C-alpha cells in the first residue's frame, strides 16, 4: 500500500518537499522516503531536514529508547520516561544522541522506541544510512515534561537532497 504527499514552493518558488509511505501487507513493516527537490535555480546553502517522530503519545509507557550506539532505560526508580521527566523538572533534556560526520566515517543511524502495553512490548525501529552528500547527521532522543521526541537531523553539503 502506497501513499504520496508533496508540497510545492516551500520557503521559495521551486522547492518541493515530498514524503512517500509504503506499508507492507504481508509483514508488520513500513518504509518512508523523504525528498527535497530544488528547481529554484538558487543554491541552497547547507539545507537541512529533521525527520522523526514528533512525540510519543505513550511516553508514560515508553520502556526503552536506543541509537546505533546505546540503549537507554528510564533512570531508577522511575518506570517510565514520563515519571523521570516529572521528577527532573527541566523543560527538556537529552536522553541519547549519535553524531555522524560522513567526511570521516559513514555510520548507520538507528532510532528505537519500545512501548509496553498490556504486558506486551511494541518496538518501532528505524535506520538511516547517510552518504557523503551530507555534511553532518545525528539521531537524538529528547525527553520533555509531557512528551519524548526522536529525530534524525540531516545537513547537506550540496544544494539538493534526496531521501
The residue-averaged pLDDT of 58-84 equals 84
* 159 in Cβ contact with 64 (< 8 Å): no
Using alpha carbons only, give the angle 150, 152, 158 rounded to the nearest 5 degrees: 165
pLDDT value of residue 7 = 93
In this structure, what C-alpha cell is assigned to residue 145?
515534561
- Spatial neighbors of 80 by CB under 8 A, at least 6 apart, are 59, 60, 61, 62, 63, 74
Residue 13 has pLDDT above 80, yes or no: yes
Find the range with the poorest average confidence among 34-48, 102-116, 131-145. Answer: 102-116
- Its pTM stands at 0.67
Dihedral Cα 157, 162, 100, 153, nearest 10 deg:
100
Average pLDDT for the chain: 79
Peptide bond into 77 cis (omega under 30): yes
CB 35 within 8 A of CB 49: no
Q: What is d(CA 7, CA 93) in angstroms, rounded to the nearest whole number?
A: 32
pLDDT band at 52 (very low <50, low <70, confident <90, very high): low
Residue 142, pLDDT > 50, answer yes
- C-alpha 63/C-alpha 89 separation (Å) is 20
**What average pLDDT does this structure show over 127-150?**
78
Amino acid at each position: 500500500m502506497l501513499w504520496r504527499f508533496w508540497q510545492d514552493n516551500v520557503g521559495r518558488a521551486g522547492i518541493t518537499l515530498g514524503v512517500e509511505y509504503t506499508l507492507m501487507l504481508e509483514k508488520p513493516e513500513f518504509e518512508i522516503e523523504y525528498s527535497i527537490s530544488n528547481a529554484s535555480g538558487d543554491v541552497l546553502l547547507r539545507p537541512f531536514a529533521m525527520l522523526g517522530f514528533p512525540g510519543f503519545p505513550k511516553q508514560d509507557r515508553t520502556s526503552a529508547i536506543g541509537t546505533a550506539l546505546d540503549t537507554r532505560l528510564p533512570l531508577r526508580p522511575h518506570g517510565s520516561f514520563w515519571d523521570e521527566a516529572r521528577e527532573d523538572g527541566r523543560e527538556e533534556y537529552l536522553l541519547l544522541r549519535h553524531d555522524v560526520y560522513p567526511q570521516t566515517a559513514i555510520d548507520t543511524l538507528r532510532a528505537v522506541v519500545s512501548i509496553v502495553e498490556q504486558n506486551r512490548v511494541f518496538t518501532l525501529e528505524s535506520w538511516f544510512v547517510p552518504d557523503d552528500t551530507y555534511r553532518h547527521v545525528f539521531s537524538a532522543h529528547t525527553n520533555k515534561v509531557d512528551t519524548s521526541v526522536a529525530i534524525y537531523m540531516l545537513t547537506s553539503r550540496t544544494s539538493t537532497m534526496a531521501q
